[in-house]
Amino acid sequence: MSIHFHEDLGVFHLQSDRSSYVIELVRGVYPAHAYWGRRIRDNRVGNLLERRGRASFSPTPFREDASFSLDSLPQEYPGYGSGDFRQPAYQVKLANGTTVTEAEYVRHRIYSGKPKLEGLPAVYTEQDAEADTLELELLDPVSGLTIYLSYTVMNAFDAITRSVSFRNDSKENITLLRAMSASVDMNHSCYDLLHLHGAWARERHVQRRRLSPGMQGIESRRGSSSHNHNPFLALLSEGAGEEHGEVYGFSLVYSGSFSAQVEVDQYETARVTMGLNPFDFSWLLEPGQSFQTPEAVMVFSAEGLGGMSRRYHKMYRTRLSRGQFRDATRPVLVNNWEATYFNFNADKIEQIASTGRDLGIELFVLDDGWFGKRNDDTTSLGDWVVDKNKLPEGLEDLVKRVRNLDMQFGLWFEPEMISPDSDLYRQHPDWCLHVEGRRRTEGRQQLILDFSREEVGDAVADMVRSILQSAPITYVKWDMNRNMTEIGSAALPPERQRETAHRYMLGLYRVMEQLTTEFPHILFESCSGGGGRYDPGMLYYMPQTWTSDNSDAVSRLKIQYGTSLVYPLSSMGAHVSAVPNHQVFRNTSLRTRGHAAMSGNFGYELDLTAFSEQEKEEVREQVKLYKEIRHLVQFGDFYRLRNPFEGNEAAWTIVSEDRSEAVLYYFRIISEANEPIVWLRTAGLDPEGDYRCVEDGNIYGGDRLMNAGLAIPAMHGDFQSFMWRFERV
C-alpha cells in the first residue's frame, strides 16, 4: 500500500516510487498541504507543517488559537468566504443567495486500484496493484454540501491524479459556480512558471517566466482546450533545466474550456489551481444530485523537465490511450489534402494511392470533400453521404480500388459541425448551439452541433456509423474547425444554460466512447485545425492527434518540441508536405522534412505523383528507414538535447527502454559563414555499453557519446539536418 494514515498525527502520506505527498488534518478537520517532493521515509512525516500567527488582516476564527487562519493555511481544497482571501478551489451559491461555505473533514477511505470517472476520460489501471486511492469526505454542515476529494497514487509514474465530486445532501438547490479539479499550496514561490502558448499553425510554444506576486496563469474560454493555451503548466525550481532540478507538472484530462492559475500571495507562497474554467460556468445541483470534475494529473520530477516529460509520456501512452493501437506500431500514410484540396475524383485518388504503394506507404487517407456538395468549405457539413459527382461508383468502390493496391483506407470527418447550407440544417435548424433571438456567428462558414442534446449526438453517431460500416475503413481523422459562440442550448431551461459547454463535452465523450468501442480496428486520430484540441481528454479516445496544420519542417521543430513536454511521440501526427510549404512558403529539403516528420507518426501530405524519379527514390528510402525505427519513435524514451526556442539548433534522441538502440536527430536552422565545429552529446544510453553507428559502422562507448559527444558533419545551406542510429554491440 502506497498510502499511509498516521491517526495519532492526523497525517496522510502518499508515496510513489520516488516522491511523497503529505496531507495533515489541522485541528482534526482542515486538510492542509504539508509536503510534495522527493520521497521521504514514512516514519518521518510529522511536523512538516509550520503554522505561525499572522497580522490581524488574516482573520482567526478561533480566539484561543492565534496561529490558525484560513488565509495562511496551505489548504488541500479551499473554499470561499470564511477568511481565505486567495483563489478558492470551489464556490457555490446557496438557496438563500449567499456563497459562503466551510467544508470540514468527516471521514476517509483508502483502497487499492483507481475508480473510473463517470462520463469522463481519465488515467486507468490494468490491475488494482498499480495504484492506491485516498478519498477524503468533506462536509459543509450548514449547506449540506458534501465534497469527495480523490487522490490516486500511480506508483510507477511518480504521479498523483486528483478529482472532486460534489453531492447535494440538503433539501434545497445548490448551484456550483466554481469546481476545480486540484488545488496545491506550495510553501514558497521561488519557481519559474512554464506553459505552452500559441495560435493556429503555431501551437505549444514554450513560455517560461519567473513567478511574481499576484495572479498569473492560462485559460481557454473557447469551448475547447484551444490552440492558444494547452491545459498544462509546470513549476520549476530555481535553475531547473532539461535533466536537473525539481519540476512539478499539472495536466488536465479535459478537452473543453479550462483554467490553470498560480497565485502568489502576501506571504510569498504559491497556490496552483486547475480545472474547469469558472468563466460563464455554473451547474445546478438539485437535492441528491452529484457533479464530477475532470481529472488533474500531477507529476513530480527531481530530474528536470526531461524526467517529468518521460513520466507523462509513459503514463499517457500506456495508461491513458486505450485500444489495440496503444501498443501497435502505426502505419505510414499519405493524405490527399494538400495534394488536391477539394478538387479530386476517384482516378486521381487511385493514382496517389498507387504511387504511395510503390514507395512502401501503407495507408491512404481521403480528406475533406468526399460528401454532400462539398466543393469548398461553405457547404454540406452534416450531410455525411457520398458525393456521387466525385465518386460516381460510391465510397465502397474507391475503398476497394485502394485496398486492391494492398493499402489500407482512411477517411476524414468533421462530425461536430454543421453548415448552414446543408440538408441537415434545413431539417433541424435548432440542432446547433445558439441563443434564441441572437445571430448565429459562423466560423469557417459553419456552426456547431449541440452535443449536449442526446438526440443530436445519437443522430451524428448513426451517420458516422453508417459510413464506417459501408466499407473496410481502418483509419478516421476526426476534425473540429471552430470554437464556440452563442453558447446556448434549445433543450436546457434558463437556470441550466451555463451548463451547456460542459454538457457538450460530456455528450461528445459519450459519442466518441460509442464509436471507438464499436470499431476497435479503426485507428482514430483527433484534429482541431491541427492542434486546437491536443489534450489528454482526446488521447483517451484517440491515441494520436494531428499536431498542427503547419507542416513546415522548421516550424514543426518548435511545435513538436513544445508538444513533447507533456505528450508522447506516439500521439503526434507528423507529415512531409510540399515545398514551398503551403503555410509559411518556405523551401526545405526532402531530407530535413523527412527527419522532422520521422520524429512522430510518419506520413506524407502532398501529390506523390508529381515527384521526380529521384525524389521518389528518396521517399522510398525514407519510408524504409522509418519502418526500421518506428518502434523506437513510437515507444522509446525521449530526450530533448537542443532547444529551438533558445538558439539556432534543435536536437533530440529516442532510446529503447532496454537501452539497446537509439536514434539521434540534429537540426541546424540558419547557416553561418565560417562556422565553428559543433559537438552534440546524447543521453539515455548505457554508459558501460558499446554502440555501433549504423551509418558508418564505427563503435562508440555509451559514456563517450553522452559525455564527449559527436562532431556534427559539415552542412551547407539553411534548414539542414542529420540523423544517426545506434545499436548496442
Per the listing, cell 522534412 goes with: 593
Torsion from C-alpha of 518, 522, 297, 498, nearest 10 degrees: -60
Gyration radius from the chain CA atoms: 27
Per the listing, cell 456563497 goes with: 99
CB atoms inside a 10 Å sphere around CB 493: 9
Distance of CA 219 to the CA centre of its chain: 14
Q: Rounded CA gap, 311 and 265, in Å?
A: 30
Of the candidates 185, 479, 535, 552, the residue annotated as catalytic is 479
Yes or no: say if 208 and 236 are a contact pair by the CB < 8 Å rule: yes
Show the cell assigned to 441: 456567428
Q: At 473, is the secondary structure helix, strand, or coil? A: coil
* Cα–Cα distance list, 84 to 74, 375, 575 (Å): 10, 58, 51
Of the candidates 132, 185, 368, 549, the residue annotated as catalytic is 549
CB atoms inside a 10 Å sphere around CB 27: 13
Q: Rounded CA gap, 373 and 355, in Å?
A: 28
Beta strands in 3-45 (DSSP E): 3-6, 11-15, 19-26, 30-38
Q: Rounded CA gap, 174 and 144, in Å?
A: 9
Please confirm, yes or no, whether 549 is among the known catalytic residues: yes
437: left (phi over 0), alpha (psi -120 to 50) or beta: left
Yes or no: say if 667 and 651 are a contact pair by the CB < 8 Å rule: yes
Can you list the pairs that 398-405 forms with residues at least 24 positions away whose Cβ atoms lie under 8 Å?
A: 398/346, 398/349, 398/350, 398/366, 399/471, 399/472, 399/473, 400/471, 401/346, 401/350, 401/353, 402/349, 402/350, 402/353, 402/364, 403/472, 405/350, 405/353, 405/354, 405/357
> In one letter, which amino acid is 553?
A
Active site residues: 479, 549
